[in-house]
Chain A
Amino acid sequence: MFKASLKNKWLTALANIAVLAVLICAVRTAWLVYHQQGLDVDKIFAESMLKEKSFTKMPVEIKTPLGINFWLIEDHTVPIVAVSFIFERAGRAYDPDKKTGRALIAANMLVYGAGSRDRQDFQEMLELNGIRMGFSAGREDLSGMVITPTVNQSTAFTLLRDALTSPRFDLADLRVEQTQSAEALQIQQENPSSVLNLAFAKEIFGAEHPFARNPLGKEEDIFNLTAEDLYDWLKSSLAKDVLIIGVAGDITPEAAASAVDGIFAALPEHNANKDIQSPDIKFEPRVKHLERDTAQTIAVFAAAGTERFAPDFYPLYMANHVFGGSGLTSRLSLKAREKEGLTYGIYTYLSTDEKTPLILGQFSATPENYPLLQKILQEEWQAFARNGLTPEELETARNYLLASYNLRFDSVAGLADMLTAMQKYRLGLDFLQKRNDYVRAVTLEQVNAAAAKYFSVQPVEMHIGQGNNMAKDD
């Protein structure tokens, strides 16, 4: 009995252990099954079948037989060629007083006929050959682009040369352009965002600075423009000493050099426009209100930023990415959008122009949400200056920048534009090889120093909407 009992006990214990073991096994299996069903993203990435590759077509710098420098990325995968270019000191801010709207209208009209071709001939030639050509008068630069099927490249380059060197600016076409600019001025007033941005430029840059002008120009100036004014712009602005060129796509270095000479060599040597002084921006925190009957209040804001080639560019860029630049995962977006549902969008971005380095931002929401959003912005801004980023936030931003590196190579036109931007911002021919090292080298101390420096002062803000229900500034 005793023995048996002992044996029984022993057996029971054994059975218990066995049961326990089975249970442990079961739990463990369940745990494993559960976790197998879960997604181990890091494991998926580590065991990924498709491995990282690098984009191997690196830019080269070429000097043409006629002495023009340009950058080229040769890529024969798609039978198209893109030429992107910038003329600095040729944009809207260089329009003389009383001639606002000049650069914009002239730029639009460069594709409205040149040499012996009138607007119809010129445009039809572009369309029949699948050539896309366009110019855009920016604040300080005139930028332009031609994209062409490889088979039609010589036509494209001839038309581009004619557009730059012998545009017609025919009177009838000028009248049409003036009419359309005036209509665009009316339509601009219909849009609360445009009205806000026009007023905000005045607030930031000072009402008299050329950067505060309406991008379309003044109506009376527009209607007073003559073809002679447009030729003045052409002669004084489109010169070789302010020209930056990027070529990409299905073209050899020799053919590209000959194309660049053919297009640009006949341009004047020197741009005659006097450099514009940087605006004197007062960053004292303030909130301005524009009254208008709108469904949502729209707000824009600005604070001091840094230039593209400044040593703290990458630290501030990464700080901004975390603060408001990364879309749905930024601090602002998580707090104001994801958590509270107060707005469809709140974001910040950097303007890295030499003359106006800024942190800019925007949000909009129905009027009752506006004070809540403004409070979030102020609090997050202050906390960011004081506490900076967490190490995890910095790593996420770094991972994003490293992993998204190749996305910039998605189109031939994009490649050509990238080449002009690299030259404009003096990033160096080897920028692409070095870029990820720049990103890797940024430390938490640097990013937090940038956050402390640029977020220590609250931004200048302006909003448009019904009633001035701004949050108390205390």
Chain B
Amino acid sequence: MKKTIYLIVLYVLFFPLLAWAELLPMEEFSLPNGLRVIVISNHKAPIVKQMLWYKVGSIDEPVGKGGVAHLLEHLMFRGTKNIPDSGFNEIVARHGADSNAFTSTDFTAYHELSDISRLEVMMALEADRMVNLEFEPEAFKAERQIVFQERKQRIDNNPTAQFGELLNTMLWQKSPYARPVTGTEEEILNLTPADVRSFYQTYYSPANAVLVLSGDINLTEAQILVQKYFGSITKKTPKSDKDDADERERLSAGKYHTTVQMQMRHPEVRTPRVVRQYLVPSLKEDVRKAYALMVFAQYLGGGDSSFLNKELVLSGRVAAAAASYSLLSRGAGVFAVSAVPMRAQTALKTETLLSQAVQQAMNALDKESTEKEKQKILSGLVYIKDNPSDAAMLVGQMAALGFSLADINAYEDNIRQVTTEEIKTIVLDMIENAPSVTGFLLPAEYAATTTEND
């Protein structure tokens, strides 16, 4: 009784706060087998996005088995005990759903956007392939060739993608994040069906997954359906559910404290690019610092009125500049700045300008500009309520990192609480101490180190 009154008082006290602080109308439940389910209601149209996130990605691959997470993702479309061969794709097509999947360093996600009347079919298919994967040897061979061709198409046909891969290797050094998500050519071509099956057995299970249902569905409906299709799947202790400290140790690259500079020349490159990436705390590692860095990224390079654009581009000192911060990782986050030099200028000079601008931005930041940048982020949050797929993407990623719904819904509060001092502290630490890589992508004949009068 006392407790109830206490709760009511709390509710009354905090209700206005909660009302504006809610990012999305979400609820969650878990099955006894460990599957975590999040329901995001959006009743605009009779459609629903189903997204099944497995907390496994390329950083979990055994050494030498690069690309196995990605190849497995492909093979998940190549048959189960119940739906052999291309049956999955045929059923999805017949039911008008848009289905796809992706593999990243941290996660593997499968998703279907469908009419609500087809959700149950999609759910049956997704539950089925969580446990019943069974592909033919021919399908395996074909799919291994397909991922090989995918790597050729995405990376080898594109000098900037090759540059990105090199930067990544040097930034992360010995961390599993240094390896390409696709695996190397050699690794891909040597993967076996046994490699894929073993990875599947180890990591694909209800307790290592988060299911997001976003759209025209409510909690009760979701509970009935998820129980019906996923409820009978046996509980399995997930391998990746290890001690957080161990996981951090394994993924950490910060311990190397390296600062790397590199140049890549390529005959097809026509105009130089300069990129610097820093390893910084991710949202998982430090919530306060992550939100501070998010606001700083917005201030530095978040839009046309950003500091880099004003100081470097609109003033005619570099041709283009940008900043970004990727924070939704199980390991460290990456803060990146980049620029394209003016034609009359060397890449080296541009790199100096870029470094100075980051420092100046930090120095120039005051309470007024901090509040403005926070306002810019906050005023756009409403859009996450629009497209059910966008909501499923953001929430799924955060939930797969282990954040609670309260954590996710506190997005707005967390932005509001960021102070100028917090930003300055973390940015100074980044500039002075963070492991980093500075890369120059250059035309084959380019003289990057030419001195100039300036």
Asked if B379 and A403 sit within 8 Å, CB to CB, the answer is no
- Bound Cα distance A406, B49 (Å): 12
Chain A positions within 8 Å of B82 at CB level? 37-39
Which one of A75-83, A209-217, A237-245 is at the interface? A75-83
Asked if A403 and B94 sit within 8 Å, CB to CB, the answer is yes
Asked if B320 and A341 sit within 8 Å, CB to CB, the answer is no
Question: From residue A125, how far is it (CB to closest CB) to chain B in Å?
Answer: 9
Task: Answer whether residue A29 sits at the interface, using C-beta atoms and an 8 A cutoff.
Answer: no
Q: Which residue of A lies closest to B389 (CB)?
A: A410
Instruction: Decide: A49 near B128, CB < 8 A? Known: A127-B376, A329-B90.
Output: no
Task: Answer whether residue A100 sits at the interface, using C-beta atoms and an 8 A cutoff.
Answer: no
Chain B positions within 8 Å of A400 at CB level? 93-96
Which one of B6-14, B198-206, B279-287, B308-316 is at the interface? B308-316
Question: From residue A421, how far is it (CB to closest CB) to chain B in Å?
Answer: 17
Asked if A119 and B124 sit within 8 Å, CB to CB, the answer is no
Asked if B372 and A128 sit within 8 Å, CB to CB, the answer is yes
Instruction: Decide: A55 near B128, CB < 8 A? Known: A50-B120, A329-B90, A403-B118.
Output: no
| Interfacial residues of chain B within 98-142, with CB under 8 A of chain A in the complex | 98, 113-121, 124-125, 128, 139, 141-142
Instruction: Decide: A129 near B379, CB < 8 A? Known: A365-B149, A399-B94.
Output: yes
Instruction: Decide: A45 near B379, CB < 8 A? Known: A50-B117, A293-B267, A296-B152.
Output: no
Task: Answer whether residue B335 sits at the interface, using C-beta atoms and an 8 A cutoff.
Answer: no
Asked if A39 and B124 sit within 8 Å, CB to CB, the answer is yes
Asked if A326 and B221 sit within 8 Å, CB to CB, the answer is no
Which one of B27-35, B58-66, B154-162, B414-422 is at the interface? B154-162
Partner of B387, one of A364, A365, A411: A411
**CB-defined interface of A152-176 with B at 8 Å, one 1/0 digit per residue?**
1000000000000000000011011
Partner of B153, one of A129, A191, A296: A296
- Bound Cα distance A295, B93 (Å): 32
Asked if A45 and B44 sit within 8 Å, CB to CB, the answer is no
Chain B positions within 8 Å of A129 at CB level? 379
Chain B positions within 8 Å of A179 at CB level? 316, 319, 342
Asked if A295 and B152 sit within 8 Å, CB to CB, the answer is yes
Asked if A120 and B379 sit within 8 Å, CB to CB, the answer is no
Most chain B CB inside 10 Å of its own CB: which residue of A175, A338, A340, A409? A338
Instruction: Decide: A187 near B270, CB < 8 A? Known: A52-B46, A120-B305.
Output: yes
| Interfacial residues of chain B within 37-60, with CB under 8 A of chain A in the complex | 42-47
Chain B positions within 8 Å of A79 at CB level? 382, 385
Asked if A341 and B145 sit within 8 Å, CB to CB, the answer is yes
- Bound Cα distance A180, B314 (Å): 11
| Interfacial residues of chain A within 326-358, with CB under 8 A of chain B in the complex | 326-329, 334, 337-345
Asked if B45 and A192 sit within 8 Å, CB to CB, the answer is no
Asked if B97 and A403 sit within 8 Å, CB to CB, the answer is yes
Interface size of A by Cβ–Cβ distance < 8 Å? 87
Q: Which residue of A lies closest to B49 (CB)?
A: A410
Asked if B143 and A77 sit within 8 Å, CB to CB, the answer is no
Task: Answer whether residue A72 sits at the interface, using C-beta atoms and an 8 A cutoff.
Answer: no
Instruction: Decide: A119 near B47, CB < 8 A? Known: A39-B83, A41-B91.
Output: no
Question: From residue B183, how far is it (CB to closest CB) to chain A in Å?
Answer: 15
Task: Answer whether residue B241 sits at the interface, using C-beta atoms and an 8 A cutoff.
Answer: no
Chain B positions within 8 Å of A390 at CB level? none
Partner of A53, one of B216, B383, B386: B216
- Bound Cα distance A38, B139 (Å): 21
Chain A positions within 8 Å of B269 at CB level? 190
Asked if B270 and A329 sit within 8 Å, CB to CB, the answer is no
Task: Answer whether residue B435 sits at the interface, using C-beta atoms and an 8 A cutoff.
Answer: no
Question: From residue A347, how far is it (CB to closest CB) to chain B in Å?
Answer: 13
Asked if B128 and A190 sit within 8 Å, CB to CB, the answer is no
Instruction: Decide: A329 near B45, CB < 8 A? Known: A344-B149, A403-B118.
Output: no
**CB-defined interface of A374-407 with B at 8 Å, one 1/0 digit per residue?**
0000000000000000000000100111111111
Asked if A78 and B94 sit within 8 Å, CB to CB, the answer is no
| Interfacial residues of chain A within 176-199, with CB under 8 A of chain B in the complex | 176, 179-180, 182-183, 186-187, 189-193
Instruction: Decide: A411 near B386, CB < 8 A? Known: A39-B83, A402-B96.
Output: yes
| Interfacial residues of chain A within 48-89, with CB under 8 A of chain B in the complex | 48-55, 75, 77-80
Asked if A186 and B389 sit within 8 Å, CB to CB, the answer is no
Most chain A CB inside 10 Å of its own CB: which residue of B121, B316, B378? B121
Question: From residue B295, how far is it (CB to closest CB) to chain A in Å?
Answer: 13
Partner of B113, one of A130, A192, A407: A407
Instruction: Decide: A39 near B152, CB < 8 A? Known: A128-B376, A410-B47.
Output: no
Q: Which residue of A lies closest to B141 (CB)?
A: A341
Partner of A406, one of B95, B115, B160, B380: B115
Partner of A190, one of B115, B268, B320: B268
Instruction: Decide: A77 near B142, CB < 8 A? Known: A190-B268, A364-B153.
Output: no
Asked if B149 and A128 sit within 8 Å, CB to CB, the answer is no
Chain B positions within 8 Å of A341 at CB level? 141-146, 149
**CB-defined interface of B60-93 with A at 8 Å, one 1/0 digit per residue?**
0000000000000000010001110010011101
Asked if A364 and B115 sit within 8 Å, CB to CB, the answer is no
Instruction: Decide: A172 near B95, CB < 8 A? Known: A45-B120, A77-B43, A190-B269.
Output: no
Asked if A44 and B121 sit within 8 Å, CB to CB, the answer is yes
Most chain A CB inside 10 Å of its own CB: which residue of B113, B128, B152? B152
Instruction: Decide: A399 near B95, CB < 8 A? Known: A190-B268, A410-B45.
Output: yes
- Bound Cα distance A72, B380 (Å): 23
Chain A positions within 8 Å of B267 at CB level? 293
Task: Answer whether residue A412 sits at the interface, using C-beta atoms and an 8 A cutoff.
Answer: yes
Asked if B120 and A412 sit within 8 Å, CB to CB, the answer is no
- Bound Cα distance A329, B128 (Å): 20
Chain B positions within 8 Å of A51 at CB level? 117
Chain B positions within 8 Å of A191 at CB level? 158
Task: Answer whether residue B150 sits at the interface, using C-beta atoms and an 8 A cutoff.
Answer: yes
Q: Which residue of B lies closest to A82 (CB)?
A: B386
Task: Answer whether residue B340 sits at the interface, using C-beta atoms and an 8 A cutoff.
Answer: yes
Partner of B157, one of A48, A128, A334, A364: A364
Task: Answer whether residue B224 sits at the interface, using C-beta atoms and an 8 A cutoff.
Answer: yes
Asked if A119 and B159 sit within 8 Å, CB to CB, the answer is no
Task: Answer whether residue A366 sits at the interface, using C-beta atoms and an 8 A cutoff.
Answer: yes
Chain B positions within 8 Å of A119 at CB level? 304, 314
Task: Answer whether residue A450 sits at the interface, using C-beta atoms and an 8 A cutoff.
Answer: no
Asked if A52 and B77 sit within 8 Å, CB to CB, the answer is no
Question: From residue B357, how far is it (CB to closest CB) to chain A in Å?
Answer: 16
- Bound Cα distance A172, B316 (Å): 8
Question: From residue B110, how far is it (CB to closest CB) to chain A in Å?
Answer: 14
Task: Answer whether residue B17 sits at the interface, using C-beta atoms and an 8 A cutoff.
Answer: no
Instruction: Decide: A187 near B271, CB < 8 A? Known: A120-B305, A366-B149, A409-B44.
Output: yes
Most chain A CB inside 10 Å of its own CB: which residue of B77, B93, B388? B93
Partner of A396, one of B90, B128, B144, B146: B90
Asked if B319 and A405 sit within 8 Å, CB to CB, the answer is no
Task: Answer whether residue B225 sits at the interface, using C-beta atoms and an 8 A cutoff.
Answer: yes
- Bound Cα distance A147, B379 (Å): 12
Most chain B CB inside 10 Å of its own CB: which residue of A78, A80, A180, A182? A78
Chain A positions within 8 Å of B388 at CB level? 410
Partner of A48, one of B121, B310, B372, B379: B121
Chain B positions within 8 Å of A176 at CB level? 313-314, 316
Chain A positions within 8 Å of B119 at CB level? 48, 50
A-B contact pairs, 23 of them (CB 8 A): A45-B118, A48-B118, A50-B117, A120-B305, A120-B314, A127-B302, A127-B303, A130-B379, A172-B314, A172-B316, A183-B319, A187-B271, A294-B157, A296-B153, A337-B146, A338-B139, A338-B142, A344-B150, A365-B149, A400-B94, A403-B117, A407-B115, A409-B47
B residues in contact (CB < 8 Å) with A? 42-47, 77, 81-83, 86, 89-91, 93-98, 113-121, 124-125, 128, 139, 141-147, 149-150, 152-153, 156-160, 216-217, 221, 224-225, 267-271, 302-305, 310, 313-314, 316, 319-320, 340, 342-343, 372, 375-376, 378-383, 385-389
Of all A-B residue pairs in the complex, the 5 with the closest CB atoms, nearest first, are A403-B96, A130-B379, A341-B145, A404-B96, A295-B156
